[in-house]
C-alpha cells in the first residue's frame, strides 16, 4: 500500500491466498482496494478459447525496448490508443 500514490487504487485480479496490509494505509492518502474474480485460470482459458474460435485479437502497439521511456511519456500524456507490448526478442540476442 505504501507504493500507491495518494488516491491510488490496488486492483486484485483473481483470488490471492493472502493479502496483508495495515488498514490505516487506506485512510492515509485516500487509497482503495478493488478486486475481481475474472482472473481465475479456468475462466481465463475459456475466454482465450472463445477469442481464438471467434478470431478476436487484442489491439496492441508493439514498441522496441529502446522506446520504453517515450512510451512512459505517452502514457503520462494520455496519448495512448492501445496496450503497449515491448518487443524484446532482438534485445536478448
> Structural domain tally of the chain?
2
**Distance of CA 18 to CAs 25, 38, 63, Å?**
17, 17, 35
Same domain, 41 and 63: no
pLDDT for 34-43, tens place per residue?
887 666 678 7
Q: What is the pLDDT of residues 50-92, one digit of tens each?
A: 999 999 988 888 888 888 899 889 888 888 888 888 888 766 6
* Cα radius of gyration rounded to whole Å, the chain: 18
CB 26 within 8 A of CB 6: no
81 and 45 share a domain?
A: no
Q: Is the pTM of this model over 0.75?
A: no
**pLDDT tens by residue, 1-20:** 778 888 888 887 766 677 78
Q: Are residues 72 and 93 in the same domain?
A: yes
Amino acid at each position: 500500500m505504501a507504493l500507491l500514490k495518494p488516491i491510488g487504487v490496488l486492483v486484485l485480479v483473481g483470488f490471492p491466498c493472502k493479502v496483508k496490509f495495515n488498514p490505516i494505509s487506506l485512510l492515509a492518502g485516500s487509497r482503495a482496494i478493488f478486486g475481481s474474480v475474472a482472473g481465475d485460470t479456468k475462466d481465463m482459458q475459456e475466454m482465450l478459447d472463445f477469442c481464438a474460435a471467434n478470431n478476436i485479437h487484442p489491439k496492441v502497439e508493439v514498441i522496441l525496448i529502446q522506446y520504453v521511456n517515450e512510451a512512459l511519456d505517452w502514457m503520462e500524456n494520455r496519448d495512448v490508443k492501445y496496450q503497449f507490448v515491448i518487443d524484446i526478442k532482438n534485445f536478448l540476442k
